[in-house]
Structure 1
Amino acid sequence: MALLKAREAVMSRFRPTLHAHDLTEQQWRVLRALTTAEEFRAGELARVSSISMPSLSRILRALEKRALIQRGVEDKDLRAAQISITASGRELIALIAPHSERRYAEITTAFGEDRLATLYGLLDELAACLNDGAEAPPEDEE
């Protein structure tokens, strides 16, 4: 319950901006993940964004409908889609990012930079311990 309360307290700072741009938290995670590489296969995108494949499929359809992402075909496997962010998706990220950065700065100021760094480290250790070094299966969130 303590982890959920903390997550809710943090996310309550970000939701208004996401909702103002008609994005869910999960859609935002997917878009942000897509900025870290040129493209992803769906399974890898699900892993890095901690979203289950069924939820990711719904999210991708919604983002594709808004032209924020695109799906391409992998040369070696015609069944495997390569997912990438579009120019419109990057523009949306650029529009929201300053708001997001301000929220992170507020959280850092309120909690303390050293304490936040310690918390991140402890959370990474907890995840590694519980996953025995493996990634946990993503949760269904939508």
Structure 2
Amino acid sequence: MTSKIPSTSRSLPIALMRAREGVMIPIREMLADTGITEQQWRVLRVLSEFGALDSTTLADRASLLFPSLTRIAATMRDKGLITQTRGEQDRRKQIIAITPEGQKIIDDRTEEAVQIVADFKDRLGLEKYEQLLDLLGQLDPGHRKE
């Protein structure tokens, strides 16, 4: 049977899902004893890098849907990993910041996270690694060069 749809072995969505799993395995192993999820890790990473953010910006930078962030943030607040306050100018905005406890999770795993990245760079080569990030960025509908 001839099909105009590419073989699943050459399907971009399927290849991206498989690659994501390959990328996430060492990250899941790193997080195994932390008591936090992959999504919570992303929230902490973004807050550690950018400082306090409004929840809309945080959801975007952590690649989370806003309703998911609302639920995740409540859990993280209860664990003492983040704080949530109302914006000074716009009281409707919620500002989320990392706590020292949340920063400690990042700090305690920085060396391991850096090694995970180094392993991917070794596997692909630095040029291909950077090219891959650039190419994936072009598929991001909110693409921003950082």
TM-score tier, shorter chain, comes to: 0.7 to 0.9
Give the Cα–Cα distance (whole angstroms) in 2 for the partners of residues 21 and 96 of structure 1.
10
1:72 maps to which of 81, 85, 88: 85
Equivalent position SS for 2:35: coil
CA deviation after TM superposition for structure 1 residue 27, in Å: 0.5
Comparing 70-79 and 14-23, the one that deviates more: 70-79
Q: Which residue number in structure 2 is paired with residue 40 of structure 1?
A: 53
TM-score by length of structure 1 reads: 0.86
Moved over 2 A (4+): none
Q: Which residue number in structure 2 is paired with residue 101 of structure 1?
A: 114
| Structure 2 counterparts to residues 1-142 of structure 1, below 5 A | 1-127=14-140, 131=141, 134=142
Identity of aligned residues (%): 32
Give the Cα–Cα distance (whole angstroms) in 2 for the partners of residues 119 and 39 of structure 1.
29
Query: More relative contact order in 1 or in 2 (CA 8 Å, sep 6+)?
Result: 1
What is the Cα-based RMSD across aligned positions, in Å? 1.3
Give the Cα–Cα distance (whole angstroms) in 2 for the partners of residues 106 and 78 of structure 1.
44
**1:1-24: per-residue Cα shift (whole Å, max 9, x none)?**
001100100101110111210111
Change (3 A) 1:122 1:69: same
**1:38-73: per-residue Cα shift (whole Å, max 9, x none)?**
311111111111101111011101111111100122
Give the Cα–Cα distance (whole angstroms) in 1 for the partners of residues 56 and 102 of structure 2.
20
| Unmatched runs of 5 consecutive residues or more in structure 1 | 136-142
| Unmatched runs of 5 consecutive residues or more in structure 2 | 1-13
TM-score by length of structure 2 reads: 0.84
Give the Cα–Cα distance (whole angstroms) in 2 for the partners of residues 81 and 123 of structure 1.
30
Number of corresponding residues: 130
